[in-house]
């Protein structure tokens, strides 16, 4: 069957679109989740929607699974290939079809790299309000399929909030085209919502319309020191009320992160270690007014004892230096060696006790482990990175995950804030979602993909 399938695949799509065996380069054999490399049954790289549709129709007819791939930068393994499945890369669909400054939207194919879309928006005097660390490699289709977050969610929201239109190829090759790009369109069900954050289980995103934002003319960066997590929350409430939509970043670094990474990555610190530190970003449309508003907000926070110290950057360069410690996350593997990363959400009122309980619990159970905590707490999002002692085995890693995810379940949080479930968090989906919710996800999946060929074994697939 398999051999004749690959032959029919070649017959249908031609050798330009299909690669087999040794012709499949290593980069298509894994994503950033770090799972063992797997060579897919075939690699297909269509140049347009019709070719995606033809591929899906064939795979649907023959019952052959398909794993959609964007930039393969996901760290949950949603794009990790399977030996029995076609890997479908959208990387050749890179056309930016329109950048409309009046309507404030961009129309693009799914394979456009995020940075290219950001750059096209800037050229039109606007900005795209989605920004994540993998901007130079991740693709719009993958950004939407994982409902990506990032550092500016507090201001501009998740990927879902930017999607004004989608074109999607269903499992059987049917093309769903909602590309009118209207901000208001309540004509029946908004079916495109189904595919946002669906991790490739319900359809293949081929094109999109994304909202653009007016570009701010001024920005301010401040690094603040607080006594404890409760003071950090008080600071969030204070600056949110003072700055409103001018607050565009609120990044917390707990002492574990701040101290370990400054020493390990050799970053000179603008403020000495102590309690948690917060990076505040503000953007605005009148430079002097923005500066005064931020100065006043920080001054009040110092006077009221919410802050113990604060530095407001005097220049763009100084702002970049304040961010250096937060951006040292790229050095995790150098500083810590192998890590177990967690991307979770925690209700704000549980943040203080949960962070303390996680750090204390890990220290008590795994002596010698290093646990670093940082995150976007205005969005409920906590990142926790744990380096277990060198002697630790797979059992210790599993026990660690159980410990962390159980704590997240018990505080009413989510086991995946922004990276999805993919291949590696499937065991924990029921920590956050009820049986009824998972049954509903699977019922929708069975309706849209009755042969279960789209990304089997990932996320909520049965």
State the nearest-atom distance from the C-beta of 262 to a copy of itself, in Å: 27
Please tell me the distance from the alpha carbon of residue 250 to that of residue 385, in angstroms, as a whole number.
Answer: 19
362-391 binders of a copy of itself (CB under 8 A): 376, 378-381
210's torsion region: left (phi>0), alpha (psi -120 to 50) or beta? beta
Regarding 413 and contact with a copy of itself (CB under 8 A), the answer is yes
Pairing of strands 86-89, 42-44: parallel
Q: Does 246 bind a copy of itself (CB under 8 A)?
A: yes
Task: Give the separation between CA 445 and CA 214, rounded to whole angstroms.
Answer: 37
The least distance separating a copy of itself from the CB of residue 159, rounded to whole angstroms, comes to 10
Q: What minimum distance in Å lies between the beta carbon of 367 and a copy of itself?
A: 31
State which of residues 369, 396, 429, 452 lies at the interface with a copy of itself (CB under 8 A). Answer: 429
Ordered DSSP codes for 219-268: EEEEEEE-SSHHHHHHHHHHHHHHHGGGEEEEEEE-HHHHHHHHHHHTPP
Site for a copy of itself in 97-136 (CB under 8 A): 100-104, 125
Distance CA 371, CA 39 (A): 34
Which residues sit opposite 247 in a β-bridge? Answer: 282
Q: Exactly one of 208, 270, 278, 417 binds a copy of itself (CB under 8 A); which one?
A: 417
Tokens read off for 366:
């795994």
Q: Using the rule CB under 8 A, is 161 a contact of a copy of itself?
A: yes
Chain residues 264-293 in contact with a copy of itself, contact rule CB under 8 A: 284-286, 289, 292-293
Among positions 270, 420, 453, 454, the unique one binding a copy of itself when judged by CB under 8 A: 420
CA dihedral 184, 447, 75, 19 (to 10 degrees): -110
* Cα–Cα distance, 49 to 41 (Å, whole number): 21
Tokens of 94: 């890179």
Shortest Å, Cβ 173 to a copy of itself: 11
Nearer to a copy of itself, 366 or 405 (CB): 405
- Residue closer to a copy of itself by CB (options 201, 387) is 201
Q: Tell me which DSSP letter residue 35 carries.
A: P
Under the criterion CB under 8 A, does residue 84 sit at the interface with a copy of itself? no
**Which strand (E) or helix (H) includes residue 65?**
none
Q: What's the closest the beta carbon of residue 143 comes to a copy of itself, in angstroms?
A: 12
Identified binder of a copy of itself from the candidate list 240, 300, 357, 363, rule CB under 8 A = 240
Alpha-carbon distance 249 to 252, whole Å? Answer: 10
Minimum Å gap between C-beta 374 and a copy of itself is 15
Q: Please pick, from the candidates 109, 251, 418, 449, the single residue that binds a copy of itself as defined by CB under 8 A.
A: 418
CB closer to a copy of itself, 9 vs 128: 128
CB of 394 or CB of 447, closer to a copy of itself: 447
Give me 145's structure tokens.
């399929």
Binding to a copy of itself (CB under 8 A) within 163-222 occurs at 170, 174-178, 180-191, 193-194, 196-198, 201-202, 213-216
Q: Which of 43, 73, 58, 67 is nearest to 5 (CA)?
A: 58
Of the listed pieces 36-44, 270-278, 305-313, 341-349, which binds a copy of itself according to CB under 8 A?
Answer: 341-349
Beta strand 42-44 with 18-19: parallel, antiparallel or unpaired?
Answer: antiparallel
User: What is the closest distance, in whole angstroms, from the C-beta atom of residue 79 to a copy of itself in the complex?
Assistant: 15
Window 292 to 331, contacts with a copy of itself (CB under 8 A): 292-293
Helices (H), 244-379: 255-265, 287-303, 316-324, 332-336, 351-365
* 15 versus 188: smaller Cβ distance to a copy of itself: 188
432 touches a copy of itself by CB under 8 A? yes
* CA-based radius of gyration for the chain: 23
């Amino acid at each position: 069957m398999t051999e004749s399938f690959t032959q029919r695949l070649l017959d249908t799509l031609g050798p330009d679109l299909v690669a087999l065996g040794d012709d499949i380069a290593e980069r298509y054999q894994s994503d950033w989740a770090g799972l063992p490399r797997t060579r897919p049954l075939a690699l297909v790289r269509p140049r347009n929607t019709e070719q995606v549709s033809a591929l899906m129709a064939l795979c649907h007819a023959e019952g052959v699974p398909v794993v959609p791939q964007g930039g393969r930068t996901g760290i949950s393994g949603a794009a990790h290939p399977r030996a029995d499945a076609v890997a479908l890369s959208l990387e050749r669909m890179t056309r930016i079809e329109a950048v409309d400054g009046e309507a404030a939207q961009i129309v693009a194919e799914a394979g456009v790299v995020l940075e290219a879309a950001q750059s096209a928006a800037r050229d039109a005097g606007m900005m795209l309000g989605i920004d994540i660390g993998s901007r130079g490699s991740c693709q719009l289709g993958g950004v939407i399929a994982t409902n990506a977050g990032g550092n500016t969610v507090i201001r501009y929201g998740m990927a879902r909030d930017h999607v004004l239109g989608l074109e999607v190829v269903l499992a059987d090759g049917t093309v769903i085209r909602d590309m009118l790009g209207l901000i208001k369109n309540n004509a029946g069900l908004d079916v495109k919502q189904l595919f946002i954050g669906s991790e490739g289980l319900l359809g293949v995103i081929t094109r999109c319309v994304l909202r653009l934002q007016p570009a701010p003319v001024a920005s301010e960066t401040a690094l603040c020191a607080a006594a404890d997590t409760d003071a950090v929350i008080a600071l969030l409430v204070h600056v949110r009320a003072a700055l409103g939509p001018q607050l565009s970043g609120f990044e917390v670094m707990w002492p574990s992160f701040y101290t370990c990474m400054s020493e390990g990555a050799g970053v000179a610190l603008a403020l000495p270690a102590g309690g948690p530190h917060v990076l505040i970003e503000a953007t605005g449309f009148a430079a002097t007014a923005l500066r005064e508003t931020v100065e006043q907000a920080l001054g009040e926070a110092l006077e009221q004892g919410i802050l113990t110290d604060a530095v407001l950057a005097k220049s763009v360069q100084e702002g970049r230096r304040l961010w250096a410690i937060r951006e040292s996350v790229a050095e995790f593997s150098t500083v810590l060696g192998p890590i177990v990363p967690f991307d979770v959400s925690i209700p704000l009122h549980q943040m203080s006790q949960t962070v303390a309980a996680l750090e204390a619990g890990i220290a008590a159970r795994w002596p010698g482990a290093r646990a670093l905590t940082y995150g976007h707490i205005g969005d409920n999002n906590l990142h926790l990175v744990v380096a277990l002692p060198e002697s630790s085995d797979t059992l210790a890693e599993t026990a660690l995950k159980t410990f962390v995810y159980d704590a997240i379940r018990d505080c009413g949080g989510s086991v995946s804030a922004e990276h999805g479930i993919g291949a590696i968090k499937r065991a924990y989906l029921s920590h956050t979602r009820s049986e009824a919710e998972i049954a509903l996800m699977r019922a929708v999946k069975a309706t849209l993909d009755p042969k279960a060929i789209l990304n089997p074994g990932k996320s909520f697939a049965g």
